[in-house]
Amino acid sequence: MNKILNTIFDDTKINQIEYFDGQSDLSSQNVSNATANLLEKVVSHPCGRQQGVCILMERGSHYIAVMMAAWAAGFYVAPLNTAWPLQKTLDIISRIKPAAIITDNKNSEELDTRFKIINSVELFNQSDSVNEFAAKARPLRPADIAYIIFTSGSTGEPKGVVISAASFRSYIDWTRRYFSEYSASKRLLLTSELTFDITMGDIAFALAFGTSIGVARHNTNIPSVLAMIMKYKIDVLYSVPTTHLALTAFAKQKRGADLSSINLLLSGGDRFPWQLVNDYKTLTGDAHFYNVYGPTEVTINCFSVRLDNKEQLALADKPVPIGKCFDSLDFVLLNDENQPCSEGELCVSGPQLMMGYHGDSELTKSAFTNDPSLSFIDRPLYKTGDLAYVDDGLVYLKGRIDGLVKIRGYRVHPDEVSKIIDGINGVDVSAVVAFGDQSEASLIAFVRLNKCSELIEKDIDSHVQNLVPHYMVPTRYVFVTDFPLNQSGKIDKKALVRSLSA
């Protein structure tokens, strides 16, 4: 008989987790102190309704510990980034109307004084009332909100994705089942932005297995990231492909670089070439490598596949798959008529779907459709906006629906061309964009080569011409040493297009 879980932390290993960042080490006792101090400083809602806190702090172990403390006290969290423009931060705070803004000395100025501001240092002071307030703590329950993550919106205004404690708990439980063979993992390193849901994936892993959480304070400084991996013998690393590619490229060139402590690698958020899997095999001594996929709206991830044992796919020149749907979820591919098909928009159902977009019921409504295969009930499906197909039991992505362009009258997805270029030996990563007015639009390929590669434009163009129709062949190849990245760590294609007009 399944055990009934009353809070988000029931049957987790939260009390085993330690937090470190190279400067500060924290324990579960520090989190308990922060929980008690937070409850002491924030007045409960008069009607007993759940309240939220905004976190605006520098990267580090304290940030994650504050998040845990807020959940233990029953608050939902809205993580903010100190690198964001001030006005964006103020706008989000104004929309959330938090019970408190938790910040540090560097970020307390110019904040909206209508809301209570708590210096994070005060939360970690030893509390004389820790036992009294710990008894009052009521960790998140299934119907509560766990977090609100703000992502880029098509209108230019950030979308606040609201995730329930039940959805987050469902992801934690999937993590425990799916990654059970890695339950002895001691330390993971958090390299993503703390406002990105990969962070929540790392936290879920830690809660499932009691794995300690390291935070790379300088997450874009690859030598610093490598130093932390080696110093703390990190055994779990989950990051975006751009970070993985930069780390492997640096480690291959750095004398004394050692990634052998890593036994589990996860990559999510964007596509990558098979070469990345091979590089990690060499550098780690056969660590297991997983590709994970999922929109923020479906609570971190909803598909996964282990890749280091799928050499046959690479040899068959197949792209990297996103794998199989979680055992707790379901998916449907829908065509333009909203009917099931073999290749179409990937739509997902199940307990991990978001509650909605903060303060935007119309946008929330437009994000869902009903499952046409169940005519007798309205089962909501989240529309991911990704085109997908199934091949031999695995799901593959073709690209974004909103990324489709017309080239000489043909519908083309630039990502299809990128995947072909990425498969060329000597290419590190590429990005293909459409440039020009609709009637004269053409494809431009931006390519970053491996350090020792001697490829020239003619080599790449010849390979592409052999594999795609003439209208999908780029008219120009631009070689770059680095790609501009957006706040999620993905290649910023809009910036690439702007560079063509400069």
Task: Tell me the pLDDT tens digit for each residue of 25-84.
Answer: 999 999 999 999 999 898 777 667 899 999 999 999 999 999 999 999 999 999 999 988
Q: Is 319 helix (H, G, I), strand (E, B) or coil?
A: coil
Question: What string of DSSP letters covers 5-64?
Answer: P-STTTTS-GGG--EE-SS-EE-HHHHHHHHHHHHHHSPPPTT----EEEEE--SSHHHH
Nearest Cα to 435, choosing from 480, 502, 486, 498? 498
Task: Give the amino acid at 62.
Answer: H
- Beta strand 324-325 with 19-20 is unpaired
- The pLDDT, as a whole number, for residue 48 is 72
Distance, in Å, from the CA atom of 403 to the CA atom of 186, rounded to the nearest integer, reads 41
> For the whole model, what pTM was predicted?
0.87
* Bridge partners of residue 291, in order along the sequence: 267, 305
- Beta strand 394-400 with 380-391 is antiparallel
Distance, in Å, from the CA atom of 305 to the CA atom of 54, rounded to the nearest integer, reads 34
Task: Give, rounded to a whole angstrom, the gap between the first and last alpha carbons of the chain.
Answer: 64
Q: What is the DSSP letter of 340?
A: B
Query: What values do phi and psi take at 205, rounded to 5?
Result: -60, -45
Q: Is 354 helix (H, G, I), strand (E, B) or coil?
A: coil
Query: What values do phi and psi take at 89, rounded to 5?
Result: -60, -45
* Bridge partners of residue 189, in order along the sequence: 214, 237
Spell out, as residue ranges, where the chain has pLDDT lower than 50: 1
- The pLDDT, as a whole number, for residue 451 is 84
288, containing H or E segment: strand 288-293
Task: Please give the torsion angle defined by the CA atoms of residues 216, 222, 225 and 231, in that order, rounded to the nearest 10 degrees.
Answer: -150
Q: Is 350 helix (H, G, I), strand (E, B) or coil?
A: coil
- The pLDDT, as a whole number, for residue 67 is 98
Given a contact cutoff of 8 angstroms between Cβ atoms, the answer to whether 47 and 94 are in contact is no
Give residue limits of the domains in the chain.
14-315, 404-501
Nearest Cα to 267, choosing from 249, 286, 294, 230? 294
CATH code for the domain defined by 404-501: 3.30.300.30
Assign domain 14-315 to a CATH class: alpha beta
Residue 224 Cα distances to 83, 221, 317, 333, 396, angstroms: 19, 5, 35, 42, 34
- The pLDDT, as a whole number, for residue 270 is 85
Residue 441 Cα distances to 51, 115, 438, angstroms: 50, 50, 5
